[in-house]
A and B are shown apart, each in its own frame.
Chain A
């Protein structure tokens, strides 16, 4: 059974006013348990609106959102409970830090769940470990941390709720290449260890190519593509017509394929090297 499923999901802003806009347009999709799903789309394609309906922050105008087969709005009063199982990390999450110490801030989510102090603390420590936050930082005020550390503390705050589904909206926004690299690796490791489902919204095709099993492409409120990562990025021209691009390395191989060379579009430089080397060496390798 898919962990999250939407049936004809539609969301309209400003219903009844002259500014009515359909942000999500009859989207039906299924997210499989345990997968790492990348979500891409031009600005205004409905990505943010879509994910905010997965954890009940927004209520669908029509259609359903099912969590493990059950409509999340079946009991509207209990919608808060959904947010503990579908955790969401917003863009620039460090802006949400407020507690006196980092560890107390990470405990905010678990405490809201009703866990005891002891349980919340142990969850928080584990979450801090996942994001690579060293123990000596935990007793400091969150405002004393560096930018990258703050971001990790904020992400830990959501991971500590131990959600079945973790949604991250541009978690690497504003980070330098080294920072991106480290964070993506941590998220990837977390996913592997915890074996839950992770949804990653990003504008960086390289990031998505690196970590996602499948990719959902949103375009003008509709789900335009949902397929294995390699399959989605192989459709380079289509993506470009939607205002998106493919990872540079994929583009190189797609261009070569268009010119008749027997190559598969790779997702990482390593894969591309593996693709090309045999062809380049052929018979008679250069010294």
Chain B
């Protein structure tokens, strides 16, 4: 049973002035199961960010339907409830933080939901601990690093006790340390708290850690499956100008040159493990 479902969704932005209607999604069908960690991979312009906003009713489909836990996103009355259940974290860490003090920003969500003040306090503390930012609760946002700000933004979503968090390229503006912090946080939330994660990214090394990878191109789903299944389809990905991890590419090219090597290599360690036996054999 899917927690979130997109059924044959098409989407076009409102045309401006005398421009033509520009369709961004051409019939996407996609299901997300509860507790899954799904990576949505694609170019800028593939439609992946649009999908993100369709899942929490920020955008409504032009055609087809989007369901969240059985609720239809087209229903005006259910909008707030859907957004409580499906949080959305955006790319720019700065432009998500509303208050001048970290703990007050994390409280913003529950305050909007009308949660009782003592309960808000508890949720804020728990959320900050979950993202490892409790020590910074009285700090001002402008003094934090990108990775810290993004974690505060995530805490702000957790405080609303969502079932699922969708993150639209959350690490695109971060340095390597920030990326590691944020990714570590969302993996932990997925593993330990059972929160469903939909990670929208163009970094393959982030997709490699997911349960399932969905590749989008030109407003459609190109392919999906486990990271191994997806990244093994090197030709398909390259034909659509998508990248694969360097390890995967190396094995692919060596295979093409005639070496008997396995499919589905995703990182350096696996690559070395795959090459060693062959190198040993050739030495003899």
* Contact partners of A147 in chain B: CB under 8 A: 44
Report A231-287 residues with CB < 8 Å from chain B CB.
Answer: 243, 245, 247-249, 251-252, 255-256, 259, 261, 269, 272-273, 276-277, 279-287
Q: By the criterion CB–CB under 8 Å, are A279 and B282 in contact?
A: yes
CB–CB B176/A203 < 8 A: yes
Q: What CA separation (Å) do A206 and B243 show in the bound complex?
A: 13
User: Counting CB contacts under 8 A, is B133 at the interface?
Assistant: no
CA distance A276 to B247 in the complex (A): 13
Contacting A259 at CB < 8 Å: which of B241, B245, B276, B282? B276
B residues 177-226 near A (Cβ < 8 Å) are 177, 202, 204
Contact with A along B249-284 (1 / 0, CB 8 A): 110011001111000000111011001101101110
Indicate if the CB atoms of B44 and A176 lie closer than 8 Å. Answer: yes
A174-B172, A176-B44, A269-B253 are contacts. A255–B282 as well, Cβ < 8 Å?
A: no
Does B26 touch A at the CB level, under 8 Å?
Answer: no
Interfacial chain A residues near B137, Cβ < 8 Å: none
Q: Out of B173, B177, B258, B275, which one reaches A276, CB within 8 Å?
A: B275
Task: Judge whether B272 and A269 touch: CB under 8 Å.
Answer: no
- The answer to whether A286 and B258 have CB atoms under 8 Å apart is yes
Which of B243, B253, B282 is in CB contact (< 8 Å) with A282? B282
Residues of B within 8 A of A273 (CB): 250, 253-254, 257
Instruction: Say yes or no: B242 contacts A177, CB within 8 Å.
Output: yes
Cβ distance A205 to chain B, nearest Cβ, rounded Å: 9
Question: Does B175 sit at the interface, judged by CB under 8 A?
Answer: yes
**Is B43 touching A252 in the complex (CB atoms < 8 A)?**
no
With known contacts A176-B43, A252-B247, A285–B275 Cβ distance under 8 A: no
Q: Is B145 an interface residue (CB 8 A)?
A: yes
- A42 an interface residue at 8 Å Cβ cutoff? yes
Expressed in whole angstroms, the Cα–Cα distance for A252 and B251 within the complex equals 11
How many residues on chain A are close to B (CB under 8 Å)? 38
Contact A280 B282 (CB under 8 A): yes
Cα A235 to Cα B94 in complex, Å, equals: 36
B246 at the A interface (CB under 8 A): yes
- Taken together as a complex, chains A and B put the C-alpha atoms of A148 and B202 apart, in Å, by 15
Asked if A286 contacts B260 (CB within 8 A), the reply is yes
> Would you mind naming 30 contact pairs between A and B with Cβ atoms under 8 Å apart?
A43-B145, A148-B44, A175-B44, A176-B43, A176-B44, A177-B243, A178-B43, A178-B242, A179-B44, A245-B176, A247-B246, A248-B246, A249-B246, A252-B247, A252-B271, A252-B275, A255-B268, A255-B272, A256-B275, A269-B249, A272-B250, A276-B250, A276-B275, A277-B259, A280-B259, A281-B259, A282-B282, A282-B283, A284-B282, A286-B260
In addition to A179-B44, A252-B268, A273-B250, 17 A-B residue pairs with Cβ atoms within 8 Å of each other are A43-B176, A43-B177, A175-B44, A177-B43, A178-B43, A251-B268, A252-B272, A259-B276, A269-B246, A272-B250, A277-B254, A279-B279, A280-B259, A280-B275, A280-B279, A282-B283, A285-B258
A interface residues (Cβ-Cβ under 8 A, vs B): 42-43, 147-148, 173-179, 203, 206, 243, 245, 247-249, 251-252, 255-256, 259, 261, 269, 272-273, 276-277, 279-287
List B residues at the A interface (Cβ < 8 Å): 43-44, 145, 172-173, 175-177, 202, 204, 241-243, 245-247, 249-250, 253-254, 257-260, 267-269, 271-272, 275-276, 278-279, 281-283
